[in-house]
Structure 1
C-alpha cells in the first residue's frame, strides 16, 4: 500500500530509523516570516544528514527553483521542534530550528539570494545517509501572503507567454470553452436587462470572450495596466478600469451583478473579499464565482492539499464556498454549475503524487471525446468537482 504523507514526493525507507513528521496543513508565511512545527525521532547524528530545503511549488529544479538548504543536527532521541522562517531577505539565517526553546547550531547551508518567490512553495525535511542518498523526506506547502510577491508573480506572467496551453494539450482550452457556455447561461439568467455588471480580476474579460450581445453593461477591471489598456482598445463596448479585486473603488450598492472568474483563490483573505464584493451589490444582486475546488477528487484520493497552480493561496472547498463563507458575507447560495470529475487517476498506490491522466500523459487530442463527456459530471458531485461555479445573492 502507498504510504501517505502531507506533502508531495514523500520518500520512505521502512528500516531507516531517523524521521521527522510535519504538522498538518500548509504553513502561512506573513511578511516573509513563518513558523512550522514538527516531531522527530533520530539516533546518532553521525548516521544521517538532515536538511531543511525550500523550493518552488512542485518544481524542485536546482538552483533556479531552489531557495536553499539548511543543515542541522537534531538532539538524539525524540521530541518536538519548530522551524523559523525569515526570507526578508534570503540569507544564511533565513531558516533556524528550535527545540525546547533553544536554537540549534546550523551545521552548513546554501541559499539563492536571487530567488523570485511565487505565492506557493514547498518546504522539505530531508534525511540522507552519509553517501548522500535520500532515505526519507517529507514535504509541506508554504503560502506566502505578501502583496509584493503576488504582484511580482503576475508581472512575470504577463511578461512571458501567460497561461496559454500548448496546441497539442487540449484539456484546459476545452474546459475553458465549456465553462464559457455554462457562464453564458448563468449571465442570461441572473443579470437583468439594462443592469450593470462588474468583472473583477478580469484578465481579458470572459464577458467579451463569450462574444454575446448582452443586454446589460459591463465594467471590467484588473491590476495590470497595460493589459487593461490593450483590452479597452479592443473591446470599447465595455468600461475598463485598474483596481484591486478586494479594494473596489466603487460606491455601495452600485452593481446588479459581480463576476469573479478564477480570482478568489488568489485573495489573501477570502472573507474580507466576499464582504467587499457584497458591498457594491444592490439588494438582490448576484455574485457569480468560478474557482478550483480544494477538495476535488484528486486531492481527496491523494489525502493532501494540491493547489491547482502556484499562485493559488486560498483554494476553497465546495462545502465552504456554498455554505459558511457566503453566509458570513451576507450572501445566500442560489445554485451551482460545477465542472469535471477527475475519474482517471494514476499512481494511487505508488510513492509518486496522484495525477489525473487526462490532464497529464493523456492530455492529447485522441482523448477529447472523453474530456467532453466528463466536463458536465461535476454538477452531479459538486463537492468532488475540479472547478466550481457558484451563484450567490445579496440578502
Structure 2
C-alpha cells in the first residue's frame, strides 16, 4: 500500500495551514488532509458498483490527493485528479509524485478536461458540484469523458438539511445563496459573538455557488441523458455513506420520498445512456 503521508506532502500541508493553529477547525483540517481511510472505504464501495481493476479513474476535485492513492491501491490502471486550487494541486502532486499511473491536473474552474471523450470508467465528484460556477456545464463535461458503461459518483450536501455542513451554521441551505451570504455577513458584525462564530459567518460568503437537491440532480440527469441511481446505506459497517436517521433513510428509498427526505448528504451515480 502506498505511503499516504510522504515528507514532501506533510511539508506542503504544514505550509498551507501555517498561522491557523488557533482556528476553530484546525484539527479537523489536518485530519482532512492526511486521512486516507475514508477514501479506501469509498474505493471499496465503488469497486462493488464498477470493478476498479484495470480501470481509468478521474477524481474531479481531488483536493489533497487521498482518493488518488486509494484508487491506485485498489488496482486502477490510470488515476487522474483535477483540482482548481493551486495549493491543493501542489499538495496532491507532492503526495503522488512517486506513484506510477497517477496524474494531477490543475485547471481553471470551467476549463475543458485534458482527457479524451468516452475514455474514463469511473468519475468521482465528492463535495464539488455545490462549488462550481455552472452545475450543468460541469456535469456535461464529466459526461463527455465518461466511457459507455462507466459511472459518475456525485456526493453533495442536501439543501433540505438545514445546517450548512462546511461550517456548521444552521439556516443557509434554506435561503438563496446571495441572501444567506448577506444576512450572515451582517450577523458577523454583531457584538458579543464568539470569535469562532464570527469567523464562520464571515467564511460563508463564497463557500457555495449551488444549493443542491434531489430534484435538481434529477433535472440535470434528464437534460444530459444520464441514468441516475440513488445510493443507500447498507448494514455493512464499512459503508462510507453518511449516517442518517433511519426514518429519513427509509423515506429516501421511496419513489417520492427521495425528493423530500431530510438526509444530510445526497449520494447518486450517473450512467451514460448512449
State the TM bucket, normalised to the shorter chain.
0.5 to 0.7
Whole-Å Cα distance in 2 between the matches of residues 389 and 313 of structure 1? 19
**How far apart are 1:337 and its partner, in Å?**
3.6
| 8 Å Cα contact 1:291/1:315 also seen in 2 | no
Q: Which secondary structure state, in structure 2, belongs to the residue aligned with residue 380 of structure 1?
A: helix
Structure 2: gaps spanning 5 or more residues? 1-14, 165-169, 178-202, 235-240, 253-260
Whole-Å Cα distance in 2 between the matches of residues 338 and 246 of structure 1? 32
Q: 1:249 aligns to what?
A: 114
What are the equivalent positions in structure 2 for 1:32-71 lying under 5 Å apart? none
Matched, 1:305 2:175: yes
Whole-Å Cα distance in 2 between the matches of residues 290 and 331 of structure 1? 16
Q: 1:229 aligns to what?
A: 93
| 8 Å Cα contact 2:62/2:68 also seen in 1 | no
Q: 1:61 aligns to what?
A: none
Q: 1:201 aligns to what?
A: 61
Q: In structure 2, which of residues 128, 131, 135 is the aligned counterpart of residue 270 of structure 1? A: 135
Whole-Å Cα distance in 2 between the matches of residues 373 and 264 of structure 1? 17
Q: Which secondary structure state, in structure 1, belongs to the residue aligned with residue 174 of structure 2?
A: coil
Q: Which secondary structure state, in structure 1, belongs to the residue aligned with residue 122 of structure 2?
A: strand
Q: 1:318 aligns to what?
A: 214
Q: In structure 1, which of residues 162, 165, 177 is the aligned counterpart of residue 25 of structure 2? A: 165
Matched, 1:185 2:49: no
Whole-Å Cα distance in 1 between the matches of residues 224 and 269 of structure 2? 13
Whole-Å Cα distance in 2 between the matches of residues 315 and 203 of structure 1? 21
Matched, 1:331 2:226: yes
Matched, 1:287 2:152: yes
Residues 252, 190 of structure 1: alpha-carbon distance in 2 compared, 3 angstrom cutoff? same
Q: 2:103 aligns to what?
A: 239
Residues 269, 228 of structure 1: alpha-carbon distance in 2 compared, 3 angstrom cutoff? same
Q: 1:58 aligns to what?
A: none
Q: Which secondary structure state, in structure 1, belongs to the residue aligned with residue 159 of structure 2?
A: coil
Q: Which secondary structure state, in structure 2, belongs to the residue aligned with residue 273 of structure 1?
A: helix
CA RMSD after TM alignment: 4.1
**How far apart are 1:267 and its partner, in Å?**
0.7
Q: 1:386 aligns to what?
A: 264
When the two structures are superposed, what TM-score results if normalisation uses the length of structure 1? 0.43
Q: Which secondary structure state, in structure 2, belongs to the residue aligned with residue 276 of structure 1?
A: helix
Q: 2:80 aligns to what?
A: 219
**How far apart are 1:214 and its partner, in Å?**
1.2
Whole-Å Cα distance in 1 between the matches of residues 97 and 39 of structure 2? 25
| 8 Å Cα contact 2:71/2:79 also seen in 1 | no
| 8 Å Cα contact 1:221/1:228 also seen in 2 | no
Largest Rg, 1 or 2: 1
Whole-Å Cα distance in 1 between the matches of residues 242 and 59 of structure 2? 29
**How far apart are 1:271 and its partner, in Å?**
0.7
Q: Which secondary structure state, in structure 2, belongs to the residue aligned with residue 256 of structure 1?
A: strand
| 8 Å Cα contact 2:65/2:92 also seen in 1 | no
Whole-Å Cα distance in 2 between the matches of residues 212 and 249 of structure 1? 20
**How far apart are 1:215 and its partner, in Å?**
2.3
Whole-Å Cα distance in 2 between the matches of residues 293 and 252 of structure 1? 30
**How far apart are 1:197 and its partner, in Å?**
0.8
What are the equivalent positions in structure 2 for 1:360-379 lying under 5 Å apart? 374-375=243-244, 377=246, 379=249
Cα deviation 1:30-89 (Å, max 9, x = unaligned): xxxxxxxxxxxxxxxxxxxxxxxxxxxxxxxxxxxxxxxxxxxxxxxxxxxxxxxxxxxx
Residues 221, 194 of structure 1: alpha-carbon distance in 2 compared, 3 angstrom cutoff? same
Structure 1: gaps spanning 5 or more residues? 1-156, 340-371
What are the equivalent positions in structure 2 for 1:129-144 lying under 5 Å apart? none
Q: Which secondary structure state, in structure 2, belongs to the residue aligned with residue 271 of structure 1?
A: helix
